[in-house]
Amino acid sequence: MIDLTRLHAHEMARLLRHGDVTARELTEAHLALAERQNRALNAWLTIDRDRALAEADAADARLAAARAEGARAVDALHPILGIPIALKDLVSVAGGKATAGSRILDGYRAPYDAHITERLRDAGAVILGKTNMDEFAMGSSTEHSAYGPTANPWALDRVPGGSSGGSAAAVAAFHAPVSIGTDTGGSIRQPAALCGIVGLKPTYGRVSRYGIVAFASSLDQIGPFARNARDAAALLHAVAGRDERDSTSAPVSVPDELLSLPAADDEAAGWLRGKRLGLPREYFVAGMEPQVEHRVRAAVAALEAAGARVDEVSLPHTDYGLATYYIVAPAEASANLARYDGIRYGPRLGNGTVLENYLATRGRGFGPEVKRRIMLGTYALSAGYYDAYYLKAQKVRTLIKQDFDRLWLEGFDALVAPTSPTVAFPFGAKMADPVSMYLSDACTLPVNMAGLPGISVPCGLADGLPVGLQFIGAAWSELELFHLSRAYEAITAGADWRGLEPADLARADDPGTPTPAERAGVLSAS
């Protein structure tokens, strides 16, 4: 018997078209696994069984109608049709919860679908539910969720990364073949690296943000998680494209070639021949774990052996990226989160004056990390400090982008770098030191500052935990990044680590395994 949850999305699509499996069978298999293991992982905030099965039945009806019309009609179906998918819990689904990992949105139900939800429905995807996340996407570990932390399937006492940790863990644990996350400073790529899967942050403007709970509007971007490049590319194809309701959504065509990445390893590996890749020296940051650096440099050597030319390059303003990001992002968050006042969204706390109720709602509704960033952002925007902090940060942001632009003009096809300086760290290891937590995104956030696409792919294990390799490209070069990622998959197809599953999945199956919150509490106490 085939374990349907272990299939890749493109394999599921082929079986669905041939009538060898139904979307309902796929959906039921993934729902059963997610429901059984979620106590141990806490990857899901909502599992919507009834809606998912209804969408699966609708997908089966579309498949049956297409098969009745003939091969051309079947070929015209999007490969995401009938495929189970998980959404980060800041994506609006009409009538469904959208907590953004915060108590301040308890009880809120979205009155409309996000643009990407509409696109997924049009393609016929099956939405299984909503995944856990750091509150308002502010965090690098998913420990800042108001609904408890998520565990990493590779080691249940460690974090999956963040803020899209639930979406990454759900894919790594085979609860869904693909999922949606958002990336403001690395929140797709970093958890992809820590969970051993593929995660893409698209070019800013490639995917509409309409219907997404905002963190920092000039940085947020929606993107896919998957277990390989082909599936991630198909999901991006389904959700990308211009949306008139989002003024930052770019009128740039989405290449259909995203749906035809090479299936054969020999053909895929050939993409590397003659490619010129830059290796930024600044991305090997202080504090990088030696085994992580070893794995990344081994991956770079494999790329060179397969025909790519790799040159060391410099992005001199990278060192200012972290400080710049933590002025720009909190400033935008301060403005975006002003709307949560206990009147328009979620619960209204307190029983006094309007001001007393406002303070009570925000004081008890927001968690400590959100409060920290609101205060930082409000300070940076305040009279007398705007020019000194926010305006200067925007000028440095321009310099960061110019560093990348110079390399594209010099003829580099892409950059290759570490995704995260560390493997997944234990619960509580960085909660008492916010700066240490912020450094988790040191290799990813410059890409957001420049509005560029970046992708993380697994490149092996360090001490039994996944390590991520990052490709960074020029604006709108997602197809190039997917080709490079697929090529790297091809040249490492025979590696021992390729066939390994997350080590703690058996423990996740045990109903007696403690919850992530219980494990985190024990670790914190010790």
Catalytic residue numbers read 88, 163, 187
**C-alpha distance from residue 396 to each of 82, 113, 220, 320 (Å):** 45, 36, 19, 8
440: its two tokens: 């988790």
155 touches 133 (CB < 8 A): no
CA angle 233, 127, 369 (to 5 degrees): 85
The sign of the CA dihedral 183, 186, 191, 192 is: positive
Burial group, residue 168, by CB count within 10 angstroms (0-12, 13-18, 19+): buried
Letter for the amino acid at 384?
G
**C-alpha distance from residue 183 to each of 43, 70, 216 (Å):** 18, 40, 10
Letter for the amino acid at 400?
I
47: its two tokens: 């599992």
Place of tokens 């249940």: 156
Residue 337's contacts (CB-CB under 8 Å, 6 or more residues apart) are 136, 366, 370, 374
DSSP string, 78-118: -TTTT-EEEEETTB--TTSB--TT-GGGTT-B-SS--HHHH
CA 86/CA 88 separation, integer angstroms: 7
| Backbone Cα Rg of the chain | 22
The sign of the CA dihedral 133, 134, 138, 139 is: negative
Count of all residues that appear for the chain in the document:
526
Nearest residue to 180 via CA among 239, 122, 134, 258 = 239
Helices and strands counted in the chain (H then E): 19, 11
**C-alpha distance from residue 481 to each of 405, 441, 484 (Å):** 17, 20, 5
Q: Looking only at Cα atoms, what is the longest distance across the chain?
A: 70
Letter for the amino acid at 157?
D
SS3 of 137-158: HCCCCCCCCCCCCCCECCECCE
Nearest residue to 211 via CA among 130, 91, 336 = 91
34 touches 169 (CB < 8 A): no
